[in-house]
């Protein structure tokens, strides 16, 4: 989805973040268990105990990798020492959008509407986690949000199940459950649902993920901005935030940090940025959210 940015409101002021660029090494066995060592990262996620002595980077598949948020996720993953498989609709566009000449970046065609079998081929048996940052392209197809934001995400989860990929992150949206929150007449809720029931499509996909048994983190940002971060990240329980905005850089940061923090497992987090919010570590932010 291109922009609904103007629909969420929040006062912000100038803010800058420093990014750490630790070296990450992984010791991987063939069945997706790995040990992550990330120097200078506050908390390392460790899944599986077996160390087989093969030093290999953890590889993350990003669906929607040429999108405004997707490309930032790719950049930040590479900066944090991950390898990335970028799933894109248009490989030529990806070659000009994504960082060139990086041996840790692989670009593959992946249309999430084409079904889980094709997606499993694209994800391959070497991806440790999948991040979904897709959003329907505006078109005359009224069903596009349903095809991409609901069925497309379901297809990705099914592909993960087929392949044995155990970790799934979704970039969703605040207000997906707006009706239940008493926000039925919130202009953003109305507008996005008039555009092909977009928020309802996303909510259905979220529910599918939560029932699937996969280890998920569902990230629901407020209105997205391409501007650099202004303010600190506020993270709340599901169905809490109904306004506010956040830089796509910060959304990408939350997605990457979720991979590094077990406190994010099986959680739905809502995020915006606020200038008056205190700066909190990701361990604290994710740790403050209850599993439902
Ligand atoms: N805009 C907002 O204010 C806002 C607020 C909250 C949440 N969100 C949600 O956050 C997510 C990211 O938003 P964004 O604005 O960064 O998205 P975006 O720039 O519109 O990027 C969406 C990506 O999805 C890709 N895509 C579209 N159809 C696809 C398909 N059938 N198969 C595979 N990929 C497909 C697009 O490919 P191309 O690059 O080839 O077009 C693009 O890379 C979306 O789910 C959006 O709904 C947005």
Q: Which of 248, 129, 236, 151 is nearest to 202 (CA)?
A: 151
CA of 70 to the centre of ligand 1 (A): 8
Report the atom number in ligand 1 closest to the C-alpha of 224.
3
Tell me the domains of the chain and their CATH numbers: 58-287 (3.40.50.720)
CA of 25 to the centre of ligand 1 (A): 31
CA of 134 to the centre of ligand 1 (A): 4
CA of 172 to the centre of ligand 1 (A): 10
CA distance 252 to 76: 7
CA distance 138 to 143: 10
What is the end-to-end Cα distance of the chain in Å, rounded?
Answer: 28
CA distance 177 to 203: 7
Q: Which pLDDT belongs to residue 58?
A: 97
CA of 171 to the centre of ligand 1 (A): 9
CA of 34 to the centre of ligand 1 (A): 30
| Continuous H helices in 197-275 | 198-212, 248-260
Candidate of 114, 135, 172, 227 to mutate for ligand 1, largest count of ligand atoms within 8 Å of Cβ: 135
Nearest CA to ligand 1 atom 45: 135
Report the atom number in ligand 1 closest to the C-alpha of 148.
31
Q: Which of 191, 197, 190 is nearest to 150 (CA)?
A: 197
- Residue that the structure tokens 């990701």 belong to: 282
Q: Pairing mode, if any, of strands 167-171 and 105-109?
A: unpaired
Q: What is the mean pLDDT of each run of 10 residues along the chain (292 residues)?
A: 33 29 34 34 38 69 98 98 98 94 96 98 97 95 95 98 98 95 91 86 98 98 97 98 97 98 98 98 98 88
User: pTM to 2 decimals?
Assistant: 0.85
How far, in Å, are 69, 89, 123, 152 from residue 189 at the CA level? 21, 28, 33, 21
CA distance 117 to 245: 36
CA distance 21 to 17: 13
Sign of torsion over alpha carbons 79, 81, 86, 91 = positive
Q: Which residues line ligand 1 (CB under 6 A)?
A: 1-5, 63-64, 66-70, 89-90, 93, 110-113, 133-137, 148, 152, 171, 173, 221, 223-224, 248
Q: Which pLDDT belongs to residue 1?
A: 39
Nearest CA to ligand 1 atom 15: 2
Report the atom number in ligand 1 closest to the C-alpha of 71.
43
Quote the crossing angle between the two packed helices 198-212 and 153-163, to the nearest 10°.
20
CA distance 175 to 201: 12
Report the atom number in ligand 1 closest to the C-alpha of 93.
40
Nearest CA to ligand 1 atom 40: 89
């Amino acid at each position: 989805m291109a922009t609904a940015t103007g629909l969420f409101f929040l006062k912000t002021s100038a803010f800058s973040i420093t990014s750490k660029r630790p070296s990450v090494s992984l010791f991987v066995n063939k069945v997706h268990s790995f040990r992550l060592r990330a120097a200078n990262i506050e908390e390392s996620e460790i899944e599986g105990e077996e160390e087989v002595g093969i030093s290999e980077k953890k590889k993350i598949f990003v669906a929607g990798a040429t999108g405004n948020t997707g490309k930032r996720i790719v950049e930040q993953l590479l900066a944090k020492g991950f390898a990335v498989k970028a799933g894109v609709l248009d490989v030529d566009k990806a070659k000009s959008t994504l960082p060139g000449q990086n041996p840790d970046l692989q670009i593959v065609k992946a249309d999430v509407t084409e079904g889980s079998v094709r997606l499993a081929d694209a994800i391959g048996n070497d991806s440790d986690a999948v991040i979904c940052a897709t959003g329907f392209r505006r078109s005359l197809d009224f069903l596009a949000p349903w095809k991409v934001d609901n069925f497309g995400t379901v297809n990705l989860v099914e592909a993960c199940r087929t392949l044995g990929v155990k970790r799934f992150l979704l970039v969703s949206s605040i207000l997906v459950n707006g009706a239940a929150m008493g926000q039925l007449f919130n202009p953003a809720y109305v507008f996005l649902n008039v555009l092909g029931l977009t928020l309802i499509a996303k909510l259905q996909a979220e529910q599918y993920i939560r029932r699937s048994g996969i280890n998920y983190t569902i990230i629901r940002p407020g209105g997205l901005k391409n501007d650099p971060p202004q303010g600190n990240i506020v993270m709340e329980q599901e169905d809490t935030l109904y306004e506010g905005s956040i830089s796509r850089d910060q959304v990408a940061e939350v997605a990457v940090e979720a991979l590094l923090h077990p406190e994010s497992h099986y959680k739905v987090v809502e995020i915006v940025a606020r200038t008056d919010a205190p700066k909190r570590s990701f361990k604290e932010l994710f740790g403050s959210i209850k599993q439902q």
